[in-house]
Amino acid sequence: MRHLRGPAPLPGVGRLLNEAGYRRLRERYPYALVADAIRDQLAHERSAGAVGDAERVEEVGARLAAWTGPRLRRVVNATGVVLHTNLGRAPLSRAAAAAAADVAAGYSNLELDLETGRRGDRSSLVAPLLTRLTGAEAALVVNNNAAAVLLMLSALARGREVVVSRGEQVEIGGSFRMPDVMRLSGARMVEVGTTNRTRTADYEAAAGDRTAALLRVHTSNFRITGFTESAPLAELAQLAHRLGVLLLDDVGSGALEELFDEPTVAEAVLHADVVTFSGDKLPGGPQAGIAVGRAAPIGRMAKHPLARAVRVDKMTLAALEVTLRERLLGSASPVSRMLTSPPDELRRRAGYLMVRLQERGIECERVEGASAVGGGSLPGHEVPTVLLALPGPASRLAAALRRGEPPVLARIEGGRCCVDLRTVLRGEDDLLQDAIEAACAACATVS
Ligand SMILES: *Cc1c(COP(=O)(O)O)cnc(C)c1O
């Protein structure tokens, strides 16, 4: 059966393992892995036809390289989207990244109070920074904002009703849909108002004995414009107080400081009982879900069994602590530096890159454009930028850049492959230049 297709029988795995070419592979890879790669290759040959000895060694080596090669890698973000979820959102400051690496490589006081020697609480490490930054009484950190919202609803509204505006039934990034999260938490959603207009009176009319909370969700990845109305948070707070229910606010991107027109977390904390947001959006930190607010509801969230299931790990906490301390001390995060770098500076950087590429015979053009905040933050808010448009077939160039070393993510605009230096980090300009040269050369030889 095995050899029906080819005249020459395939060699055995054991014999191949002892041949010179495979012995060399065994110096670099574990024996069992080399054997697996040989088996895989022979299985392939059984259906596709046998190959020569030299080609077989090469194929086995290629399999091993593919299996063990790096998968999650640094890339250069030249898309101009600052908080790009597919590219890992916020780049950390050097100090925040170093703190995560340091804590990861050793032991830490993650759940130990060094003063008393007693068991501590991991969230309390960063809670003082969060309460100082936002004016809240208490704070809790979990895995991400989706988890924070799920925990908030589970701990505070399970088996009861939560009133939410129809204009705020948001879906974020495909799998986070407020109605689904609500169902999962065991809270019952009561929708009020219409897509474009919801008034405080609508919430009031819907609230009853079973109501646990009013929920506001920041419509962070789209914007309804035109004939719109939403209830001011201060009014909702008064209503919630009068009804004796909680006011919950998922602000999403979580501006800790004044940035464009985004409402700050501190403003939300003035009115809402619990405010949730992501650590890796506007705060410029690691992936985390942050809940701040009054001590009683935050305490109930911390004690809920789900809190353990969605808890944050030590590397995240280490990076978050440094990130929050930097915000408190007033130093700008990489995210806010990118969002606020002036077009003139970008024009200068683009001009410099353009001249250096020109010296290599690559004629680019500077064009005006717009960068986006991204990450479901500040929809419709575009930041003026200067793009460098590369010569050549746009989608082939973009693919060559993406497959390059390091991978570069560009964007196609006006039918041209463009790089937006706003999101290219300091120190990456030279890498970008080399990558562009390589991509242009690759596209030139193919055509
Ligand atoms: C981004 C966002 C979420 C989800 O946050 P993750 O940190 O990605 O889990 C939830 N709600 C709002 C309003 C958001 O903008």
| pLDDT value of position 226 | 58
| pLDDT value of position 223 | 54
| pLDDT value of position 227 | 55
Backbone angles phi, psi at 314, to 5 degrees: -65, -35
DSSP strand pairing (246-252 vs 274-278): parallel
Residue 363 alpha carbon to ligand 1 centre in Å = 41
| pLDDT value of position 194 | 73
| Nearest residue to 168 via CA among 203, 198, 199, 148 | 198
| pLDDT value of position 284 | 96
Q: Is the CB of 176 under 6 A from ligand 1?
A: yes
| pLDDT value of position 311 | 96
Q: Whose CA is nearest to atom 12 of ligand 1?
A: 252
| Nearest residue to 284 via CA among 332, 237, 221 | 332
Binning the chain into helix, strand and coil, the percentages to the nearest 5 are 45, 20, 35
Q: In whole angstroms, give the CA distance from residue 291 to residue 319.
A: 17
Q: In whole angstroms, give the CA distance from residue 340 to residue 338.
A: 5
Other C-beta atoms lying within 10 Å of the C-beta of residue 351: 14
Q: In whole angstroms, give the CA distance from residue 173 to residue 184.
A: 18
Point out the residues of the chain with pLDDT beneath 50. Answer: 447
Q: Whose CA is nearest to atom 15 of ligand 1?
A: 252
What sign does the CA torsion over 82, 88, 89, 91 have? negative
Backbone angles phi, psi at 201, to 5 degrees: -60, -30
| Contact yes or no for 264/272 (Cβ under 8 A) | no
Structure tokens at 263: 């409402």
| Nearest residue to 16 via CA among 3, 40, 7, 66 | 40
| Nearest residue to 34 via CA among 25, 44, 24 | 25
CA diameter of the chain: 87
What are the angstrom distances between the C-alpha of 89 and each of 85, 101, 287, 328? 5, 19, 8, 21
| pLDDT value of position 4 | 55
Amino acid identity, residue 262?
E
Amino acid identity, residue 203?
Y
Residue 271 alpha carbon to ligand 1 centre in Å = 20
Q: How far is CA 314 from the centre of its chain?
A: 18
The helix or strand, by DSSP H or E, that contains position 31, with its residue range, turns out to be helix 31-48
| Contact yes or no for 372/382 (Cβ under 8 A) | yes
Tell me the three state secondary structure of residue 362: coil
| pLDDT value of position 271 | 97
Give the pLDDT confidence of 125-176 residue by residue, as tens digits.
999 999 999 999 999 999 999 999 999 999 999 999 999 998 887 666 556 7
DSSP letter (8 states) at residue 61: H
| pLDDT value of position 380 | 66
Mutation to probe ligand 1, out of 84, 143, 180, 250 (largest number of atoms < 8 A from CB)? 250
Angle between helices 20-28 and 53-68 (to 10 degrees): 10
| pLDDT value of position 442 | 93
Residue 287 alpha carbon to ligand 1 centre in Å = 11
| pLDDT value of position 225 | 54
Whole-structure pTM value: 0.92
Residue 343 alpha carbon to ligand 1 centre in Å = 29
